[in-house]
Amino acid sequence: MTSDNYKLLIPKIDKDKMPNHIAIIMDGNGRWAKKQGMKRVNGHKAGVRVVREIVETAREINLKYLTVYAFSTENWGRSRMEVNYLLKLILDSLIGEIDDLVQNGVNIRFIGTEQHLPPGYDVKVEENCRRSWHNNDLYLNVAMNYGGRRELIEAVQVISTKVKDGYLKPEDITEQVISDHLYTAGMPDPDLVIRTSGEIRLSNYLIWQSTYSEFWFTETLWPDFSRAEFIQSILDYQERKRRFGKREK
């Protein structure tokens, strides 16, 4: 498909069945770079361009929530050089894109833990993101230093403190209470989770929130992921029958 063909796919989307929230595991940057005879970090750099395209497309189709996995709590296990490159690339990309995001109605936030981040990192992220918080067309979450288990640990810590201090009774802890203490508090669960690069696993992504998500996998490496493929994932999603444990009508 040429880069503009996705426009032909957009009218095929059933507006009444739009997913509210799409979450993406952007995987395969390293393998993409290797295939081109380049260093892994060049793959990450190429991947940023694709994030931009997918955010633009999400605006075009009026998607409400988009969450992208940028760096996991397990990614600290990579070489120091790659980790440092990613930390800088992610912050620099935010700083470089924030004006456009603000102008285009995007409300952006980073979700993840502060653990192990360099001093001041979170402050710089928040200073930039804050400028977009009056927007409400597209809510864009960047899962940065994110781990689903870490997210649950932090929720349990806050909830148990509330119990200890008498603000909450153990029997009052419901699914809603737990959801309200996650980084995604107040947001709908993802309807569709996309993963590129042929890996068929969750890698600690949105483990609580994706309980009833539909999954869509592609062999395409993230830097080659196209707007057309993004739209195709939505068209495929719209063919699925979601039962949520009930019997089919």
> Which residue in 29, 42, 75, 141 is the catalytic one?
75
Q: Which residue has the tokens 């498909």?
A: 1
Per DSSP, the residues of 30-47 read HHHHHHTT--HHHHHHHH
Q: Please identify, among the stretches 14-22, 28-36, 97-105, 121-129, the one whose residues bind ligand IPE according to the rule CB under 6 A.
A: 28-36
Q: Check residue 19 for interaction with ligand IPE (CB under 6 A).
A: no
Categorise residue 78: left if φ over 0, alpha if ψ from -120 to 50, beta otherwise: beta
In the complex with Mg ion, the residue whose CB is nearer, 27 or 191, is 27
In the complex with ligand IPE, the residue whose CB is nearer, 19 or 28, is 28
Closest-approach residue to Mg ion (CB): 27
Q: What single-letter amino acid sits at 109? A: R
CB 85 within 8 A of CB 41: yes
Active site residue 107: no
Active site residue 180: no
Task: Select the residue interacting with ligand IPE from 31, 39, 45, 64 (CB under 6 A).
Answer: 31
Task: Select the residue interacting with ligand IPE from 203, 220, 232, 238 (CB under 6 A).
Answer: 203
Task: Select the residue interacting with ligand IPE from 19, 30, 147, 190 (CB under 6 A).
Answer: 30
Q: What single-letter amino acid sits at 160? A: S
* DSSP strand pairing (21-25 vs 192-195): parallel
> Among Mg ion, ligand IPE, none, what does residue 70 contact (CB within 5–8 Å per kind)?
ligand IPE
Q: Please identify, among the stretches 7-15, 19-27, 206-214, 232-240, the one whose residues bind ligand IPE according to the rule CB under 6 A.
A: 19-27
Q: How far is the CB of 97 from Mg ion (least distance, A)?
A: 23
Interacting positions 19-58 with Mg ion (CB under 5 A): 27
* Closest by CA position to 139, among listed 149, 129, 124: 129
> Which residue in 4, 5, 16, 27 is the catalytic one?
27
Give the binding-site size for Mg ion (rule: CB under 5 A): 1
Using alpha carbons, list the distances in angstroms from residue 100 to 89, 110, 231: 17, 17, 22
* Closest by CA position to 74, among listed 116, 38, 105: 116
User: How many residues can be counted in the chain?
Assistant: 249
Task: Select the residue interacting with ligand IPE from 27, 97, 151, 214 (CB under 6 A).
Answer: 27
Helix ranges, 104-134 (H): 121-130
Catalytic center residues: 27, 75
